[in-house]
Amino acid sequence: TALVATMVLLFVLLHCDVAHAKTWIVGDEFGWDMVIDEEVWPQGKTFYAGDVLVFNYDYQRSNVVAVNRTGYITCTANEGATTYNSGADHIPLGHGQHYFIDTYYEPSCAAGMKIAIFAKA
């Protein structure tokens, strides 16, 4: 019975984590676009590991690049950066700091097309 109780507890804990996962549309109704300052968008929001960021944009004008802190600060895709270009990217968050920039059009990132997100455990 201890094994069954442990399995039930594990199921409940896993179920709770999934129940708390949230899908966030980056930029809300504007999407990933120069219309708004994307750096401001995360302010006041609490993100958790398991949440999913959805980047909606015109793939012929933008992209999303997951970069490290240096890439975020310098607006450059660092070695090993992951580039997304579907126009409707769904990116799950792990625990910790995440940085995303737009590198499709060089001035975009410097003009605010970048976000830094910390996902709590």
- Residue 86 domain-assigned? yes
CATH number at residue 27: 2.60.40.420
- Residue 94 domain-assigned? yes
Domain count, the chain: 1
For 110, the domain range is 20-119
- Quote the pTM value: 0.83
- Residue 4 domain-assigned? no
Query: Phi, psi at residue 89, to the nearest 5°?
Result: -85, 135
> How confident is the model at residue 16, as a pLDDT?
43
SS3 49: coil
Tens of pLDDT along the chain (121 residues) come to 655 444 444 444 444 445 579 999 999 999 999 998 899 999 999 999 999 999 999 999 999 999 999 999 999 999 999 999 999 999 999 999 999 999 999 899 999 999 999 999 9
- Residue 7 domain-assigned? no
- Residue 12 domain-assigned? no
- Residue 57 domain-assigned? yes
Please, is 62 exposed, middle or buried when counting C-beta atoms within 10 Å of its C-beta (0-12, 13-18, 19+)?
buried
Q: Give the number of other Cβ atoms within 10 Å of residue 53's Cβ.
A: 24
